[in-house]
Structure 1
């Protein structure tokens, strides 16, 4: 089964694998397998966290998905916090007002890694300068690629260190809570909840 089909329907893929191995699905339809592929594990955990996931096979689908997000939320002609010049160029045809201040309607950014074991997005000063997570807009659109999957945060941190050369990025953080209207439990207090869309481009 292709990556595209597995990402859009991980449950079906999990059931197919269970049948092939002669296993039952008594573990529950929402319980992930012990050894899911990294892309499926991230997708499962990211959606469980409340993230909105849009898989794109090419740049045309990225543009269409981005346009749909703006239309759904009425974000045309709004202030957009974005410090990445490549992104401002890529999405310049949508009547957005790109600003370098965090008090904007939404934050448009890349990320360092997509962390599979908890479904989080790893960011650092490359994306947010020295802003704290709570200072970012509550609405976020992340543009990432399938080559950015990592198993855990430690692997993501190693990638940041290896890519930084002499100047290792600082202000490293993860976003993991994407359900703005859910009831908080004691594990959630102190976290910064974000309404997050992930535009994921296939590049493998």
Structure 2
């Protein structure tokens, strides 16, 4: 802008300066949140239900509260992990891999902070698609499974499984059951998801 125009229109000049400052400020480096805070924020934004626990006793108590809240006692539960089924034994649940089940009890590969998603593989879901699994999920995970990005989670899967990399690797990040779908969420499978997170660090 020429000096002449600036003198004639000082208000416009000031507003231009403010706009320029606001433009440059958005290019400053973003304040980096700790990985756990970032995951919690994004996971909650996606509509997930988050239960942080410091001990296995707290995990079992939180699990009991989930069963009470949803009236899930004495129901069929989809679970492929025998160790996990034995860990949550004693709640009058029938753990199975067949037929219609009330909810899916599972572990996960990683918790991805960048988008608040849960990384799963054939270790948890065999060769099933997310749409073939029950609508309700209860995921048991630990704080040591937090990663910043999906690629970091994939690298951990590769390093952990040197002989045979699991197949059917997928993420789930849509937990808002009443959210109106748009074209960006086409093909994604919405789940009602509870995360039981155990502090292990």
TM-score by length of 1: 0.83
SS at match of 2:181: coil
Which residue matches 2:57?
60
| Residues 1-16 of structure 1 mapped to structure 2, 5 A cutoff | none
Structure 2 CA distance for aligned equivalents of residues 150 and 124 of structure 1? 16
Which stretches of structure 1, 4 residues or more, deviate above 6 A after TM superposition? none
Which residue matches 2:19?
none
SS at match of 1:144: strand
1:156 aligns with 2:153: yes
**Partners of 1:103 and 1:136 within 8 A in 2:** no
1:129 aligns with 2:126: yes
**How far does residue 102 in structure 1 lie from its aligned partner after superposition?**
5.9
1:165 aligns with 2:132: no
**How far does residue 181 in structure 1 lie from its aligned partner after superposition?**
1.0
| Residues 10-159 of structure 1 mapped to structure 2, 5 A cutoff | 34-101=31-98, 103-159=100-156
TM-score by length of 2: 0.84
Structure 1 CA distance for aligned equivalents of residues 104 and 114 of structure 2? 24
**How far does residue 57 in structure 1 lie from its aligned partner after superposition?**
0.4
Gaps of 5+ in 2: 1-29
Which residue matches 2:189?
192
Structure 2 CA distance for aligned equivalents of residues 152 and 102 of structure 1? 34
Question: Number of residue pairs matched?
Answer: 172
Q: Who wins on radius of gyration, i.e. which is larger?
A: 2
Structure 1 CA distance for aligned equivalents of residues 180 and 165 of structure 2? 37
After superposition, what is the alpha-carbon deviation per residue over 1:76-131, rounded to whole angstroms, capped at 9, x for unaligned?
Answer: 01110001111110111000010012631100000000000000000000001000
**Partners of 1:53 and 1:199 within 8 A in 2:** yes
Structure 2 CA distance for aligned equivalents of residues 72 and 123 of structure 1? 26
